[in-house]
Amino acid sequence: MACAVKSLLGSLSRVATPLYGAAVAAAAAARTSQAWTPLVTSVRHRYHWQKMKKGPLLRNYGQNDMLHNKGLMPHIEHHKRLPIPLYRPKNNWAEKRALFGQNDYIDILGPGNLHPTKTAYSVPAWLRGFKGNEYQMLLRKKKLFGQQMALYRPSKRREMDKRIVWLYKYLNFKTKDYMWRKA
């Protein structure tokens, strides 16, 4: 309808005739001759009882959930029992357990010629007896293994360098230095 009116008005505007005013009036009359219809919005359920009449809301319709996630595990008939590992008591006299902590008090009880850091066998040799923070430990590691890491483990070396730079900035700018006294 609107397209017809536009085309009619467009053709009349090109031709200057006294009928132009009559055509506009006819178009306006045609527009108002239609019945007024309100704007309609679609509503699924107008009343609550209509919604309840359809039954409960179906969720995940068509999905077959293979996992049991509600409550206790069910007893499934005609199935194998879940395997439980057999009880095997630990051997308390195995070498690892029997000798655990044997060198803890060697400096007190022994003759004094063996330092406890010498007996820390599970710690890498370059870290035995080391006291310091992570930054100092990484600097020590870089000094000892830097060239080897650059050849054989370049990504680990790069990550270590990044961590050293980050710790350097953090320790210098974000922490207080307790070595200096207030003047």
Structure tokens at 106: 């060697």
Enter the DSSP assignment of 45.
-
Q: Mark whether 138 and 166 lie in a shared domain.
A: yes
Residues spanned by the domain of 10: 2-31
pLDDT at 116: 75
Selected residue with higher pLDDT from 37 and 30: 37
CB 1 within 8 A of CB 30: yes
Q: For 92-101, what is each residue's pLDDT tens digit?
A: 999 999 988 8
Residues 26, 12 contacting (CB under 8 angstroms) = no
**Same domain? 117 vs 136:** no
The Cα 15–Cα 13 span in angstroms is 5
Task: Tell whether 55 is covered by a domain.
Answer: no
Of 22-31, 76-85, 117-126, 157-166, which one has max mean pLDDT?
157-166
In a domain, 163, yes or no: yes
164 and 136 in a common domain: yes
Q: For 128-181, how does the pLDDT look when each residue is reduced to its tens digit (9 = 90+)? A: 999 999 999 999 999 999 999 999 999 999 999 999 999 999 999 988 877 666
**168 and 136 housed in the same domain:** yes
Answer with the residue of higher pLDDT: 30 or 153.
153
In a domain, 155, yes or no: yes
Greater confidence (9 vs 64) lies with 64
Domain membership flag for residue 57: no
144 and 172 together in one domain: yes
Same domain (yes/no): 116, 140: no
In a domain, 75, yes or no: no
User: Based on the structure, what is the number of domains in the chain?
Assistant: 3
* H-state helical runs in the chain: 2-14, 20-33, 48-53, 95-98, 106-109, 134-152, 154-173
- Judgement on whether residues 115 and 149 belong to the same structural domain of the protein: no
**Within a domain: residue 168?**
yes
Q: What CA–CA distance (Å, rounded) separates 18 from 23? A: 10
Q: Residue 15 above 70 pLDDT? A: no
Mean pLDDT, range 114-133, rounded to an integer: 86
**37-94: per-residue pLDDT in tens?**
777 777 777 888 888 898 888 887 787 777 777 777 767 777 777 778 899 999 999 9
Looking at the structure, do residues 118 and 141 belong to the same domain, yes or no?
no
Looking at the fold, whether 119 and 136 belong to one and the same domain comes out as no
Please indicate, yes or no, if residue 50 is contained in any of the structural domains.
Answer: no
83 within a domain of the structure (yes/no): no
- Tell me the CA distances in angstroms from 4 to 30, 76, 88, 144, one per residue in order: 11, 73, 93, 89
Report the pLDDT value the prediction gives residue 68, as an integer from 0 to 100.
73
**pLDDT at residue 4 greater than cutoff 70:** no
Do residues 138 and 119 both lie within one domain? no
